[in-house]
Structure 1
Amino acid sequence: MPSIIVYDLRCEYRKHPVGIDVLRPRLSWKLAADRRNVGQETYRIQVAVDESFRRLVWDTGLVRSDRSVHVEYEGEPLQSRTRYYYRVQAGDRTGCQSEWSDGAFWETALLKREEWLADWIAPPARADKPNVEIDYLRKTFRIQGEVSQARIYATAHGLYKLFVNGKTPDDTLFAPGYTSYRKRLQYQTYDVTHLLANGTNAIGVMLGNGWYIGDLGWMDGRHFYGTERALLMQLHVTYVDGRQEMIMTDEGWRGSTGALLMSELYHGETCDARLAQEGWHRADFPASDWQSVEVRALTKDPLIAQEGEPVRIVEKRTPVAVFVTPRGEIVLDMGQNMVGWMRFRVEADAGTVITLRHAEVLDQQGNFYVDNIRSARQTVRYICKGGESEEYEPSFSFQGFRYVQVEGLPIEGLADRFVACVIHTDMEPAGSFRCSDEMVNQLQRNIVWGQKGNFLEVPTDCPQRDERLGWTGDAQVFARTGAFNFNVAPFFAKWLKDLAADQQPDGGVSHVVPDLPFCGYNSSAWGDAAVIVPWTIYQCYGDVRLLETQYPSMKAWVDYIRNQGEDECLWNSGFHFGDWLALDGPGGRVVGATPKDLIATAFYAHSASLVAKAAAVLGYEEDSVRYKNLLEGIVNAYRKEFVSPNGRVVSPTQTAYVLSLMFDLLQENDRPRTARMLAEHVKENGMHLTTGFVGTPYLCHVLTRFGYHDIACQLVLQKEFPSWLYSVGQGATTIWEHWDGIKADGSFWSEEMNSFNHYAFGAIGDWLYRAVAGIDTDPAAPGFKHIIIEPHRGDGLSAAEAVYWSAYGEIRSAWETTGNARKRLEVSIPPNTTATIILSGADPGRLTETGQPYTAVEGFLSSEIAESGIRLLVGSGHYSFEY
């Protein structure tokens, strides 16, 4: 008997989110089926305030629709601090009906600002060491009766770490996260029901500087958002008998200092365990000498509930080697450039100082190397209490490193004392890629590790030096690759709201988000993140709400450009980074040879085209027409300014050719010649690229699109500098900032700007997924509702496989060339979607699926034979082709 199953229920992309403030949350689910060509025809959703679904607040009844992603809640108005349970039934086109899914839930936070009754409190003032030593705050309270539910809602100016009766309620790190604090300050929700006890209880909070107060950037700046740490917290207790009680931050809290003497994001931590006040966060701790806190009249207007997943420890690694450098330094090798910290165990005399320094690479002689991290100290100092085994790990600082220099401990048994904790925003893995070339597989691993290390609260440019900022240019070039590797929709939705919040009154966009004024504003390809990233997320996830939320910001950016200079259709004014870190700049400069006004106008056209498309999606027809007309004017101006009357791009650089072709800026009959000139340029450069941040993400896409896929493959398989595999050959485990960050002789490109975990050039991952493996979404049916499978085989690769977990389920494309020159393609299409499979070069007479003629197999909806091959329209299921 055919059947379907509803599974993997989500609310706002998340499983069982606790503490959201979305008034009309969206629900999604997946289908599993035991046959091909399964599509949903009906669904029914029930939402209740009890697990038995007797107290319903929404019952859709039977809805005829194939929607199973982002279905908006339309029930009774949601109440604060309430858990809502939901379940789903679905029916397919054959009339087969599923059972009810397993129940899932979401829980609301504080939905109204007036529900925040707590006061902001500041730690006792310390004139001698302001904002250096970490603050410890505590309060005791009594629980009288059996508790049915207890929730803490908390936030801070600075970073905070929460304890209830000496225990942390969850594994959240770096709360409240990094946002545009003046306009958007997250608070977190904690279920602490299991931590409370009848009688006296205690809440303890550590407060550190973090992004709010501490050092940010390379200009020795701090206090960008405020000069004082502060805490805001409410504990809501509900008893079994219905009584409710609230404990909150007020003048009754007490504060002191403790073992943690210094903690900065860039510089590390200093902890003197001899100063620890043991049990400070427990109810029985004698706190008579702790000082009273001060109440502050601070605004609560920016408060928002946690958006997406927080930072967590996602992996642990042990050292792969311990060695002594030529300088005599004792060094741990973790085998992987990563982001996080070292947890260690020690038995030593009181006062023994353990010092850890962190670095990405060794120098030419094999010594510990830290010049490239500039003023960031990345140093952890631990002073032992003595007399017992001690364990330590940082609380409010993270490091970017592969190597750890250890002082204060003997080398014997050293590796057994240390564990590396890998941290990043806890994004859900979404995809994988592998192929027949192991160096390309290592490249893919490097791309993933680069994303892990740099997707920490915001999409940082690097995680080790005195920067670690949300550079817009890096984010927009990598967004599509990032979406293949992880579910980045909540991550980017949060960051894009900060981008809009920090947008200038004239529509200008800062170079980094959240904004730091000294970083600057309004460069092409950087500010265009305001348009490109929302459109990318919409294409990958079908998220119309995100597109609608960001649409005013998208429009404002294009209108900002339109108001620059004397010609509204050219962008030839202002500061631009240009083709940053390209290799064709004169004298080895970091800016490439492609004219900045060409790049700026090309991205202006691209952003105008995306705003026109977004307006059409959202039903803003007048805007759509307006921006289409603007696009037409920009394209005409581009051709007049940067293309000769005979159709030749006047700047003969790879990036100029790439942008002209990628953004469809040339007359159609001029495009083949320009593509040929691009291919010739690559060959004339010894099959090497010369592109930087602007041209690199699109280079291989353009070559593949215009029939030069073999050249694209040769570029990616190139092992000599400059190439993606050059760094792999040098032992890289993440993506480098510079193509030759380490030269063949072991020397460095520079000391000033030479990150070895800088993910932008990892944007080639998008091409590996979309071109080599051939998985893409149909722009007309975004979010992989209709899937395009079009693998491209090329010289040097005999097999490739990609798996991507879309909102509908697993998509897989795996191809190989067999020994008899036959080609094999395995495809998986999830239920409730369809796919177009394009088999280039396939002979209809030889094409089989699971050993049968392809036209006779279940799941095929239609086929089209073209000169280039065969196009098949199929329903869901697993398919195995040979041709």
Structure 2
Amino acid sequence: MTVTVSAPTFEHHREAFGIGETTPRISWRFKGDSETQNWTQKSYEIEISRQTSNKQSQRKTENVRIASTESVLVPWPSTPLKSRESARVRVRANSFANEYTPWSEYSVVETGLLTPDDWTAQVIAAEKTISATGALQPTLFRKSFQLDKKSIAKARLYITSYGVYEPSINGSRVGNHVMAPAWQSYGHRLSYQTHDITKYLHEKDNVIGVEVSDGWWSGRLTWGGGRRFIYGDALAILAQVEVEYEDGSTMTVGSDATWKTSTGARIASEIYDGEIYDASLEVKGWNETALKDDSWKAVSILEFPKIDLIAPEGPPIVVTETVKPKQIWSSPTNKTIVDFGQNLVGGVRLRVSGPKGTKIVLQHVEVLEHGEVATRPLRDCKARDTIILSDEKLHWEPKFTFHGFRYVQVEGWPSKTGQPALEDLEAFVIHTDMEPTGWFECSEPLVNQLYSNIRWGMRGNFVGLPTDCPQRDERLGWTGDIQVFSPTANFLYDTSGLLLGWLKDLAVEQIKDYQGVVPQVVPDIIDARPNAPTLAVWGDVAVITPVDLYLSFGDKRILQNQYESMTTWLNAIPRMADSRLWDNTRHQLGDWLDPAAPPDDPSAGTTDPQFVANAYLAHVSNILASVTKTLGYDEATVKKYEDDAAVVKKDFQHKYVTPAGRLSPDSMTALSLALTFDLFANQDQTDQARSRLAELSRASRFRIGTGFAGTPTILPALCAGDPKKNFKQVAYRMLLETSCPSWLYPITMGATTMWERWDSMLPNGDINPGSMTSFNHYALGSVGKWLFGTVGGVDMDITSASALRTASPDQSSIGWRVIKFAPQPGGTITSAKTSHLSPYGIVSCAWNLDAEKKLFRMSVSVPPNCKAVVQLPGTDKEAINIGSGEYEFVVEGYEEDEAWPPEAIVSPWSMVEESEQKIVGVRKDK
């Protein structure tokens, strides 16, 4: 029996370099061999090695032993770190059987510049040069400097910008970040990055270069022509090089009036419209020591930032993958089209040579419409890169833009055919460098593609912050989208650092800018007025998403940090005069993009938007009461929120539940929300509602009838409750439906990411006529949570915010400490494999079903220091409690309680003929 522990991590950082915490909490994961069972940590030991003086060789080592079963976010056991300080840390654990793990590998943690006084550099700006596109032309900054000693111990670059930047030292790019410093609430917070530049420095002469472009700081954002210069109208940097020598002495080179600036080959490079690059304007060696910069211009000095200058909470944006083109051909109108086989987010690298002045244009699109590139969904976004050649071989890629695309139309390629060769191009993929944590596969290929589409959709929309789409003139942090998707996102990737930072931006804008109202997008750039319109579902992200993070990652501090935001939001919601429900004069987006909504009015769906708002209000009121209790507030405060939640629920029932227990409105979304949020008065009403939901599903011929609000809840609502009374097979039949609208319909149309609309492309190949049609939106991928938990059988044993009230006082089941294995096989799926890299280690479940032999087999793996609850399908046995280890289970005589496939209800009020692609509620005879 062997248990090992991973190298420790710190807070929610994937790499703890240049962090902003002085006492970072420490975590480690476990790995056991096949013979390890029931291993639980009794104590842990942390070894910390720190410098005791400026000399690297003088270090002190501390060993701290703590009696505790905790291994996630345990307290920093030493004195606080200071600015620039680093420490080497390793851990080992001891079990209740007195079995020590080996020591982990060392991890290094290093702080950045923690106070404004640590900065001696100044903010320097370039002269404004407006390009023909209206953008600021990207700017080059440079500074030559000399080292006065040879024996360098270490060197750091601390840097940020007004705009997006790329740094270099002596001609070599520093680090792998792209689009840094990413987008934050620039009115309140700006992150800086820390780079180790030791290996880039020469013994004497050196030069630092920084290229800066608009980015989100001053570039055009939003639709309808957009807005420029939202945060500022000058490109600027704040950069500080610090060199430490072996003898302990230091030198600093900061941005100041001695730096020089110029422009280069990038004429424009902005997020929506792409890059214009003229190779003949390239300033060769602009970031190297040999260049004479006498003709370069002086910089201007700007005021030091009054906003918070912070170290990042989440990972940087980086290039994570390259994709080779699959095919190049001519369209019906003789245009050259390249297919990369996958809708992705990033750009195209090319290798080319041709006569000076040759202009190559790359037009990026997500889909083709009848064989030609479809640019209409881009709206007022060019998504176009232009490269002008200079007689020399060129290796080029865009630097300060990104596109959402699968297809690229190429014009002007300098070859006899006018087409590039496959080897001349490759696509690169960018997104925030989150750790992958979730995997799924099953016996149905289309469902596997659905999982892939969900994952790719998430990757493309986690570029610095959680956005709605990555391709058109939008790409904003819509709050409702991440609210419905976060449980799925948290399974697929370690989102904790990114979403932690984003929620801080949400809170500061909500409280300081909008008098308690949560903006529709964060950072908010679409409505600068106080008292912005209040939206349920979207605003409710302030309450729901912090709890989703807490449940997934076990960090109570997230709830503490966001508690003011939660309570402020609930207090800001306008109520009716005679009840605690939403003021019904307020516009609501409701079940956004319900398939019944007309293309030009996505909020006009089947379900009354006020119903959706009030169902959510009851839900978040209950959550807030739970969180208040979890955080240990006094009984009077807890009771206040519990009483309010009870009143809201009662008012909801009075307004929407008939005396006979029927729900009004009678729709898939209404029933799904009421069931999932536990809004009925008793079990009979709940059972009746679930039966009615199954009836509506059958009447629709198993086509989906929900939008953003209802989609995460409909399959869980059908599968919840007594296994003999639920409608699991109806849920599977909906999952496996391939006609429009359904989850698998886009896949039959070639989709490789999730669509914004169920019918973003119509069956005849036309794009939906609505002006808002994206082919990469993750919200409808919220079904992923159900795939992993119900089909795959892997979930936490505590999965809802309301369950916080009944959790043990030490919250020991939070954050995957207690796992639930409860697959519910159904449909035509006969096997599934699911795994999740939890904060404790790998959790996995694999099952297969032999229907002829009536045999169900399942193998599971529980990491050390965890427990699990196993609920085997097809049996009346009580749940089985197990400790860590690997286990196998067999159910003989397995039979389904429900028939497969379930029958649809065919009536005048069911779906019209498939060829018409209309939705439930249209009579056949009309």
Asked if these proteins are the same fold (TM beyond 0.5), I'd say yes
Q: What is the DSSP-based 3-state SS (H/G/I as helix, E as strand, rest coil) of the residue aligned with 1:281?
A: coil
Q: 1:178 — aligned with what?
A: 183
Structure 1 segment 531-680 matched on structure 2, within 5 A: 531-561=543-573, 567-585=579-597, 589-591=601-603, 592-621=605-634, 622-668=636-682, 669-680=684-695
Structure 1 segment 103-114 matched on structure 2, within 5 A: 103-114=106-117
Are residues 588 and 821 of structure 1, via their aligned partners in 2, closer, same or farther at CA, if it must alter by over 3 Å?
A: farther
Question: 1:602 is matched by which residue type in structure 2?
Answer: A
Q: Is 2:322 aligned against 1:316?
A: yes
Q: 2:853 — aligned with what?
A: 820
1:103-144 deviations in whole A, cap 9, x for unaligned?
A: 111110011121112111111344787853111110000012
C-alpha separation in 1, matches of 2:868 and 2:450: 29
Q: How many residues align?
A: 854
Comparing 32-41 with 732-741, which one deviates more in the overlay?
32-41
C-alpha separation in 1, matches of 2:838 and 2:599: 46
Alignment partner of 1:400 out of 398, 401, 404: 404
CA shift at 1:226, angstroms?
A: 1.2
* 1:329/1:368 contact within 8 Å kept: no
* 2:15/2:315 contact within 8 Å kept: no
TM-score by length of 2: 0.90
TM-score by length of 1: 0.94
RMSD in angstroms over aligned alpha carbons? 1.8
Q: 1:732 — aligned with what?
A: 751
Q: What is the DSSP-based 3-state SS (H/G/I as helix, E as strand, rest coil) of the residue aligned with 1:423?
A: strand
Q: 1:457 — aligned with what?
A: 464
* 2:657/2:663 contact within 8 Å kept: yes
1:703-751 deviations in whole A, cap 9, x for unaligned?
A: 0104111111000000111100000001100011111111111112125
Are residues 377 and 37 of structure 1, via their aligned partners in 2, closer, same or farther at CA, if it must alter by over 3 Å?
A: same
Question: 1:7 is matched by which residue type in structure 2?
Answer: S
Q: What is the DSSP-based 3-state SS (H/G/I as helix, E as strand, rest coil) of the residue aligned with 1:439?
A: helix
Q: Is 2:838 aligned against 1:806?
A: yes
Q: 1:862 — aligned with what?
A: none
Q: 1:514 — aligned with what?
A: 523
Q: 1:687 — aligned with what?
A: 702
Alignment partner of 2:796 out of 763, 766, 777: 777
Alignment partner of 2:160 out of 141, 155, 161: 155
C-alpha separation in 2, matches of 1:354 and 1:453: 26
C-alpha separation in 1, matches of 2:855 and 2:152: 67
Structure 1 segment 690-701 matched on structure 2, within 5 A: 690-701=705-716
* 2:131/2:268 contact within 8 Å kept: no
C-alpha separation in 1, matches of 2:131 and 2:844: 61
Question: 2:492 is matched by which residue type in structure 1?
Answer: N
Q: 2:13 — aligned with what?
A: 14
Q: Is 2:210 aligned against 1:194?
A: no
Q: 1:845 — aligned with what?
A: none
Q: Is 2:98 aligned against 1:95?
A: yes
C-alpha separation in 1, matches of 2:58 and 2:263: 51
For structure 1, the residue ranges without an aligned partner over 5 or more in a row are 843-867
Q: Is 2:65 aligned against 1:39?
A: no
CA shift at 1:773, angstroms?
A: 1.2
Alignment partner of 1:415 out of 407, 422, 441: 422
Question: 1:642 is matched by which residue type in structure 2?
Answer: Y
C-alpha separation in 2, matches of 1:623 and 1:194: 56
Structure 1 segment 735-814 matched on structure 2, within 5 A: 735-750=754-769, 752-779=771-798, 780=807, 781-814=813-846
C-alpha separation in 1, matches of 2:588 and 2:299: 48
Question: 2:590 is matched by which residue type in structure 1?
Answer: G
CA shift at 1:585, angstroms?
A: 4.0
CA shift at 1:568, angstroms?
A: 3.0
C-alpha separation in 1, matches of 2:21 and 2:410: 47
CA shift at 1:100, angstroms?
A: 2.2
CA shift at 1:319, angstroms?
A: 0.5
CA shift at 1:501, angstroms?
A: 1.4
CA shift at 1:567, angstroms?
A: 3.1
CA shift at 1:841, angstroms?
A: 2.2
Are residues 174 and 722 of structure 1, via their aligned partners in 2, closer, same or farther at CA, if it must alter by over 3 Å?
A: same
Are residues 642 and 586 of structure 1, via their aligned partners in 2, closer, same or farther at CA, if it must alter by over 3 Å?
A: farther
1:34-89 deviations in whole A, cap 9, x for unaligned?
A: 4111110111112221599984475432x211100011214212111111111112
1:604-649 deviations in whole A, cap 9, x for unaligned?
A: 1111111111112211134322211110000000011111122211
Comparing 495-504 with 671-680, which one deviates more in the overlay?
495-504
CA shift at 1:571, angstroms?
A: 4.5
1:825-880 deviations in whole A, cap 9, x for unaligned?
A: 010110000000011223xxxxxxxxxxxxxxxxxxxxxxxxx3341100011111
Q: 1:482 — aligned with what?
A: 489
Q: 1:466 — aligned with what?
A: 473
Alignment partner of 2:865 out of 832, 835, 839: 832
Are residues 587 and 257 of structure 1, via their aligned partners in 2, closer, same or farther at CA, if it must alter by over 3 Å?
A: closer
* 1:332/1:404 contact within 8 Å kept: yes
* 1:48/1:54 contact within 8 Å kept: no
Comparing 96-105 with 151-160, which one deviates more in the overlay?
96-105
C-alpha separation in 2, matches of 1:714 and 1:127: 56
Q: 2:883 — aligned with what?
A: 875
C-alpha separation in 2, matches of 1:427 and 1:125: 35
Q: What is the DSSP-based 3-state SS (H/G/I as helix, E as strand, rest coil) of the residue aligned with 1:771?
A: helix
* 1:425/1:457 contact within 8 Å kept: yes
Q: 2:238 — aligned with what?
A: 232
Q: What is the DSSP-based 3-state SS (H/G/I as helix, E as strand, rest coil) of the residue aligned with 2:889?
A: strand
Q: 1:288 — aligned with what?
A: 294
Are residues 37 and 53 of structure 1, via their aligned partners in 2, closer, same or farther at CA, if it must alter by over 3 Å?
A: farther
Question: 1:285 is matched by which residue type in structure 2?
Answer: L
Structure 1 segment 481-500 matched on structure 2, within 5 A: 481-500=488-507
CA shift at 1:672, angstroms?
A: 0.3
* 2:128/2:136 contact within 8 Å kept: no
How many percent identity over aligned positions? 36
* 2:22/2:82 contact within 8 Å kept: no
Q: What is the DSSP-based 3-state SS (H/G/I as helix, E as strand, rest coil) of the residue aligned with 2:108?
A: strand
Comparing 463-472 with 620-629, which one deviates more in the overlay?
620-629
Q: 2:733 — aligned with what?
A: 714
Q: What is the DSSP-based 3-state SS (H/G/I as helix, E as strand, rest coil) of the residue aligned with 2:127?
A: coil
Q: Is 2:316 aligned against 1:304?
A: no
C-alpha separation in 1, matches of 2:131 and 2:476: 30
Are residues 69 and 406 of structure 1, via their aligned partners in 2, closer, same or farther at CA, if it must alter by over 3 Å?
A: same
Comparing 441-450 with 297-306, which one deviates more in the overlay?
297-306
Q: What is the DSSP-based 3-state SS (H/G/I as helix, E as strand, rest coil) of the residue aligned with 1:620?
A: coil
* 1:37/1:831 contact within 8 Å kept: yes
* 1:345/1:392 contact within 8 Å kept: yes
Question: 2:669 is matched by which residue type in structure 1?
Answer: T
Question: 2:643 is matched by which residue type in structure 1?
Answer: N
Are residues 517 and 83 of structure 1, via their aligned partners in 2, closer, same or farther at CA, if it must alter by over 3 Å?
A: same
Q: 2:371 — aligned with what?
A: 366
Q: What is the DSSP-based 3-state SS (H/G/I as helix, E as strand, rest coil) of the residue aligned with 2:23?
A: coil
CA shift at 1:413, angstroms?
A: 4.9
* 1:313/1:423 contact within 8 Å kept: yes
Are residues 421 and 127 of structure 1, via their aligned partners in 2, closer, same or farther at CA, if it must alter by over 3 Å?
A: closer
Q: 2:902 — aligned with what?
A: none
1:552-608 deviations in whole A, cap 9, x for unaligned?
A: 111111111266765334443422111111123479842212112211111111111
C-alpha separation in 2, matches of 1:642 and 1:686: 26
Q: What is the DSSP-based 3-state SS (H/G/I as helix, E as strand, rest coil) of the residue aligned with 1:79?
A: coil
Comparing 352-361 with 74-83, which one deviates more in the overlay?
74-83
